[in-house]
Amino acid sequence: MDKKFIGDRITELRIKKNISEYQMSLDLGKNKSYIQSISAGRSLPTMQNFLDICEYLEVTPAQFFDTDLHNIPLFEKAADLLKQIDDEDILAVISILNRLAARHK
């Protein structure tokens, strides 16, 4: 993991929210080129700024580093719905997902 990963991940998540580097920088209270500098790999955010970036992008730090998560809002919605059903129904959902995953291999 390196500066490129951090910059690329911020770019991916920022684009999904349809926010420019410029706007994100200003919204975070930074200079207009702050996010561009991180995205280009010229700098890294401090830990507090990283946490602020995660909050702004509406992801947890764990989600930020989980490259398998590309549509985080959908994963969160699915997790919230799974919390509302009983174990038997969760097993049924898992069975359905296993069949769908097998079709996509």
Q: What is the pLDDT of residues 26-56, one digit of tens each?
A: 999 999 999 999 999 999 999 999 999 999 9
- Say if residue 84's pLDDT is above 80: yes
5-27 pLDDT, tens digit per residue, is 999 999 989 998 899 999 999 99
CB 66 within 8 A of CB 79: no
In this structure, are residues 5 and 37 in contact, taking their beta carbons and an 8 Å threshold?
no
Sign, CA dihedral 30-36-42-47, equals positive
Residues 51-67: what's their mean pLDDT? 92
**pTM of the full structure:** 0.69
Cα distances from 29 to residues 7, 52, 75, 95, 97, in angstroms, run 18, 10, 29, 47, 42
